[in-house]
Structure 1
Amino acid sequence: MIKEKNYYLNKSLFISATNTDVGKTYGCEKFAIALTNLGLKVGYFKPFETGVIDKPIDGSYMLDLIKQLNPQFDFDINEVVPYQFKLPAAPYVAKKDTKLDFEFLLNQKKKLQKKCDVLIIEGAGGLMVPIQKNMFIIDLIKKFDCEAILITPSKLGCINDTLLSIEALKNRDIKFDFYINLYQDKDTFEDVSLPFLKDYFPKINYLQEL
């Protein structure tokens, strides 16, 4: 479950996942609402969105929600999703010849944080999705000095994916919590995956219970 209000003050939460289509945007939505219910003002930042045709779908959805929850967060979509690429691929591939400015992203993060108590940052794909040749989403979490929220699926194979992602976060000394998104194979999850997860982890968190 979500922690007490003071824990989140002046924090940035980086929502990542074990892979693509696991539920990062859904996780951002759930955390935004839960934190608002704690009495906190929330903000949103998605440094990269790929597969953008007319507008960034995930970023636009979240920005609309955030503005309802925190009217002081008066930024436009280009400020909230500064890098928008047409190709639905990892940022490293989708950016083509675009040069990424990480100092700009750090400054943008600071700018957005001024209008909220907690800034929710959404990644692209999973932890090891490449941004540069030797820089991955997990490295951006470290660079942004964020606490990570790892979203993991309920489907067959989630044990392996979850443990590998947790190992990667621990190896980089990134503080994290993980939440299972009960959406795939949820009818068989209790029989197939939950027995090990319950024995291995002291506590299991579900996005649906936020």
Structure 2
Amino acid sequence: MNNTKNIFITATNTDIGKTYASELFLKYYANKGLKVGYYKPIETGVIDLPIDGNKMLNLVKELNPNFDVSINDVVPYQFELPAAPYVAKKDLKIDINLIIEKKKYLESLCDILIIEGAGGLLVPIEKDFFIIDLIKKLKTKAILICPSRLGSINDSLLSQEALKNRKIDFDWYINLYEDKESFEEVTLPFYKDYFKTINFLDDLKD
């Protein structure tokens, strides 16, 4: 039986820090002695090589030499247009079963597989199939990355509601990279009153 754990890194939107979070989680688990792996089923905006996928694959090969796979294994769907997968794929049909099979292969090479999504939870892959549906299909726990800027409370709570509605187990982390100076005054007071615990991505660092 495969006992590999899987974590799906998602976010409230694009450019929130999913790849940065993936890097931190990979290093965090590697430092705990686990063999790590990485998977990004779909990457858009690819010209020569998928930038995010290639960067993380090189890191994983340093952390876990047993993860001897190609970039096409790690990023099976690569599209040139920097847009939602549904738009970027044009007439191509994305095979969800292929994504699932690739996951099974990659998790056989590691103790924990970090899976990185594309954009936010409701980014479309097919007309009626979204990133949040992929998380459900892959049967993984989700890590929701939330921004720190003004307005992030609304974005964070909406995304958490969506995960709860789909009955997806998740943790959430704040990526403190925008409005750092005003975050403690503008946003943090609500989080402190509303949530029992607050996690920051940078807390994963040594």
TM over 0.5: yes
Partner of 2:35: 41
C-alpha distance after superposition, 1:43-91 (max 9, x if no partner):
0000000000111000000000000000000001011000000000000
- Superposed, 1:150-189 pairs within 5 Å as 150-189=144-183
- Superposed, 1:1-210 pairs within 5 Å as 10-210=4-204
| TM-score, normalised via structure 2 length | 0.97
Q: 2:77 is aligned with what amino acid?
A: Y
| 2:202 match: secondary structure | helix
| 2:115 match: secondary structure | strand
Q: Does structure 1 conserve the Cα–Cα contact (< 8 Å) formed by 2:4 and 2:108?
A: no
How far is the alpha carbon of 1:186 from its aligned partner?
1.1
Q: Does structure 1 conserve the Cα–Cα contact (< 8 Å) formed by 2:144 and 2:170?
A: yes
Give the Cα–Cα distance (whole angstroms) in 2 for the partners of residues 53 and 187 of structure 1: 36
Q: 1:167 is aligned with what amino acid?
A: E
| 1:126 match: secondary structure | coil
How far is the alpha carbon of 1:38 from its aligned partner?
1.0
C-alpha distance after superposition, 1:161-181 (max 9, x if no partner):
000000000000000000000
Give the Cα–Cα distance (whole angstroms) in 1 for the partners of residues 169 and 120 of structure 2: 17
How far is the alpha carbon of 1:31 from its aligned partner?
0.3
Q: Does structure 1 conserve the Cα–Cα contact (< 8 Å) formed by 2:10 and 2:143?
A: yes
C-alpha distance after superposition, 1:113-140 (max 9, x if no partner):
0000000000000001000111100000
Q: 1:170 is aligned with what amino acid?
A: K
| 1:165 match: secondary structure | helix
Give the Cα–Cα distance (whole angstroms) in 2 for the partners of residues 205 and 14 of structure 1: 17
| TM-score, normalised via structure 1 length | 0.95
Aligned pair count? 202
Percent sequence identity is 66
Q: 2:197 is aligned with what amino acid?
A: K
Gaps of 5+ in 1: 1-8
Give the Cα–Cα distance (whole angstroms) in 2 for the partners of residues 74 and 21 of structure 1: 29
How far is the alpha carbon of 1:23 from its aligned partner?
0.1
Give the Cα–Cα distance (whole angstroms) in 2 for the partners of residues 24 and 63 of structure 1: 15
Q: 1:42 is aligned with what amino acid?
A: V
| 2:47 match: secondary structure | coil
